[in-house]
Amino acid sequence: MDWCRHWTVDPSSDLYYRWLAIITLAAVYNLTLIVGRTVLPDLQDKYRAVWITLDYVCDLIYVLDVVVRFRTSTCHLALLQRHMRGCMQTRASPKYFGRGRIAVCF
């Protein structure tokens, strides 16, 4: 379990870009299909279990994104910062954290 205390995500790695693709899919789902379900009530009623499952999966992806963002390395003075304290201080600053709280509320 010692690896999880020092685990960081390099923002230039393939893993990070794949994670961004997953986040994009969840956002596109929320932007398109939720609106479609609201406009077409028959679509909502026929597949209620599927929609609830997909909604929870997207919510889980968003919660995991918060964890990944806190673990994402940042550049400080042109050097990649991999220390957890520095990564978390950057992400917990009012600039980032305030936007995240607003996004979760909506």
Contacts of 82 (CB under 8 A, 6+ apart): 8, 73
Which residues of the chain are under the pLDDT cut of 50?
Answer: 77-78
Q: 34: domain range?
A: 2-105
Contacts of 50 (CB under 8 A, 6+ apart): none
pLDDT of amino acid 5 = 59
Distances in Å between the Cα of 6 and the Cα atoms of 39, 42, 49, 74, 89 are 46, 49, 39, 14, 15
pLDDT of amino acid 94 = 61
pLDDT of amino acid 40 = 85
Q: Are 23 and 65 within 8 A, CB to CB?
A: yes
- Give how many domains the chain has, as a whole number: 1
> Which pLDDT tens digit goes with each residue over 59-69?
999 888 888 87
pLDDT of amino acid 22 = 95
